[in-house]
Amino acid sequence: MIDVTREGSVYVLRIDGGENRFSAEAIPAWNAALDEVESAAGAKALVTTGTGKFYSNGLDLDYMMSDSVDSGEYLASVLNIMGRVLTFPAITVAAMNGHAFGAGAQTALAHDYRVMREDRGYFCMPEIDMKAPLHPGMTAIIQARLPRQVAHEVIVTGTRYGGAQALEQSIVDALAPESEVLDRAIEWASRLAEKADPVMNRLKRDMYPEVLEALRAEFVR
């Protein structure tokens, strides 16, 4: 479901699981992949990407709401991944090959930079149309990484942003044709691979203490 390959100094984490949701299998695979890259010595950077039409379609709601699952623990495990990406001790770039919805969109925002496919695929927070609340940590990531009015629109309207609109609203940093999204992200990340250092984790944690606290908050519906 998730594999890690290396392109020079850049580690590429590729999600290959249909809609690339945070399934029961994906969560430990995400953590193992992040552990692998974090423990690597020397210059490094991280690029994440999906497959097919999806970067990530977010939470696995069927799994989350099943009787055998503690939904609070499940959500906490996904939020922990977002926090790890947000404070990763190397530069991170999301190569958004397709749709990024819900928790997938928030995970993309947790990266340092985002390169989005220019012709197809949407960035969207659909909770308003699902009549569902957001965890405080999810709201905090959106507010921390987007301009205030854009964050407001993203959350309260559920707008589906295509590439051009996402770039205009500073949701993503660059656009590329489908065949070039990953290469563009790798190129971007490689230019900053020398910045990797444990102190980057500290610097990022000091930038986002309120977000990290919110990610750990109890979710009350």
Residue 49 is classified by DSSP as E
Range of the domain at 61: 2-215
Q: How far, in Å, CA of 167 to CA of 203, rounded?
A: 26
**How many domains are contained in the chain?**
1
In a domain, 220, yes or no: no
In a domain, 169, yes or no: yes
In a domain, 196, yes or no: yes
Tens-digit pLDDT profile for the chain (221 aa)? Answer: 899 999 999 999 999 989 999 999 999 999 999 999 999 999 999 999 999 999 999 999 998 989 888 899 999 999 999 999 999 999 999 999 999 999 999 999 999 999 999 999 999 999 999 999 999 999 999 999 999 999 999 999 999 999 999 999 999 999 999 999 999 999 999 999 999 999 999 999 999 999 999 999 987 76
CATH number for the domain harbouring residue 28: 3.90.226.10
In a domain, 94, yes or no: yes
Unique residue bearing structure tokens 């190569």: 95
In a domain, 186, yes or no: yes
In a domain, 221, yes or no: no
Beta strands in 39-154 (DSSP E): 45-49, 54-56, 91-96, 99-101, 113-117, 123-124
